């Protein structure tokens, strides 16, 4: 029986650069582990934004951890640059913060916007909203006269508001409870304030996979799974629909080899190869109207069951030898 190793799928994100003695992820670092100016230049961020290499390593490690991955490889500099394009506008349009090099929790609570209105195409931030303004708008029936080409986006995504009609202010501890781990000490100045770089990586960590930004923050080569989620801007909607269609019908995932083939195809990038592999896995049975997510949940369930069965077999074998 072919055993399927989750690890082989959890580590297949390839870095666009390699590490060396004085480099991390292909960019030079200083003696404290912060990226030097070549990284900032590649990211399009000011030189005084000190980004620690551990932060981006943590981001990539988290991104690679999962059965289904959205990206085959990631450009960390461009990704951080995408976040900066938004954060820099939020600061520029906040007079009380625009000239500061670091921020207290009171600064963020009082002056950093709770939400912002952004043009989906150009990425231009049109308007900022404080917590009090958002609360008042919510109590008055919500936003009105918003163009279809615009979005109202929270600055720091939180799940707290899902069950309630009244919005809650964002947590000023923005480096905690994000998508990936950030060492707060690396972004705290001598006065205990959050640096501009800390604000930037906190924004990335809170928003990178929420789908709330007009365009994906991550820059990289999308996998089939990423394309199905609409993360590949080069694909038209009809092309995305063709991937959905390839998953229609019942897939024969009754054995470990089939599960491995499915996982490999979803985490690869070749569309034609994916369609061919799905055709090979087709079952003549009806799919009973299952959605893509239901199929994926079924695959994960079968995968975990196979791993558990293998573990139990090993345990029984050891018990017999005792």
Among residues of the chain, what percentage have pLDDT more than 70?
78
227 and 266 Cβ atoms separated by less than 8 Å? no
Q: CA-CA distance, 309 to 269, in Å (whole number)?
A: 31
pLDDT at 306 over 90: no
Q: What integer is the mean pLDDT of 169-198?
A: 94
The secondary structure of residue 157, as a DSSP letter, is -
115-45-216-105 Cα dihedral, nearest 10 degrees = -30
Every domain of the chain and the residues it spans = 6-222, 224-321
Angle at 120 between CA 80 and CA 238, to 5 degrees: 100
Looking at residue 123, its pLDDT comes to 93
Looking at residue 91, its pLDDT comes to 97
Length of the chain as a residue count: 322
Nearest to 51 by CA among 176, 134, 296, 42: 42
pLDDT at 318 over 50: no
Looking at residue 147, its pLDDT comes to 87
User: Is 310 in a helix, a strand, or coil?
Assistant: helix
Q: What is the pLDDT of residues 106-159, one digit of tens each?
A: 999 999 999 999 999 899 999 999 999 988 888 888 888 888 899 999 998 765
pLDDT at 80 over 50: yes
Nearest to 5 by CA among 247, 310, 276: 310
Q: Which of 26-40, 53-67, 290-304 ranks highest by mean pLDDT?
A: 26-40
Looking at residue 61, its pLDDT comes to 92
pLDDT at 313 over 50: no
Name the strand (E) or helix (H) holding 57.
Answer: helix 53-63
**Which residues, 6+ apart, have CB-to-CB distance to 67 below 8 Å?**
6, 9, 10, 263, 300, 303
User: Is 24 in a helix, a strand, or coil?
Assistant: strand
């Amino acid at each position: 029986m072919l055993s399927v190793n989750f690890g082989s799928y959890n580590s297949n994100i390839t870095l666009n650069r390699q590490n060396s003695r004085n480099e991390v992820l292909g960019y030079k670092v200083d003696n404290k582990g912060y990226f030097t100016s070549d990284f900032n230049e590649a990211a399009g961020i000011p030189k005084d934004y000190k980004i620690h290499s551990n932060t981006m390593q943590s981001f990539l490690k988290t991104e690679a951890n999962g059965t289904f991955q959205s990206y085959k490889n990631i450009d960390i500099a461009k990704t951080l640059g995408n976040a900066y394009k938004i954060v820099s506008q939020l600061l520029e349009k906040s007079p009380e913060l625009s000239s500061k090099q670091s921020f207290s929790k009171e600064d963020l609570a009082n002056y950093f916007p709770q939400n912002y209105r952004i043009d989906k195409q150009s990425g231009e931030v049109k308007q900022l909203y404080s917590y009090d303004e958002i609360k008042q708008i919510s109590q008055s029936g919500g936003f009105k006269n918003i163009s279809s080409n615009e979005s109202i986006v929270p600055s720091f995504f939180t799940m707290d508001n899902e069950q309630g009609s009244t919005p809650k202010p964002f947590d000023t501890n923005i480096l905690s409870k994000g998508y990936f781990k950030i060492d707060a000490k690396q972004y705290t100045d001598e006065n205990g304030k959050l640096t501009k770089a800390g604000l930037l990586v906190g924004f990335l960590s809170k928003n990178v996979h929420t789908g709330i930004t007009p365009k994906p923050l991550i820059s990289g080569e999308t996998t089939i799974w990423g394309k199905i989620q609409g993360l590949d801007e080069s694909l038209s909607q009809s092309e995305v629909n063709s991937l959905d269609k390839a998953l229609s019908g019942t897939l024969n995932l009754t054995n470990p080899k089939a599960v491995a083939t499915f996982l490999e195809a979803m985490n690869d990038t070749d569309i034609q190869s994916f369609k061919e592999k799905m055709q090979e896995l087709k079952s003549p049975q009806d799919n009973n109207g299952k959605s893509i997510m239901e199929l994926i949940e079924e695959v994960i369930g079968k995968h975990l069951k196979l791993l558990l069965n293998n573990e139990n077999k090993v345990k029984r074998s050891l018990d017999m030898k005792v």
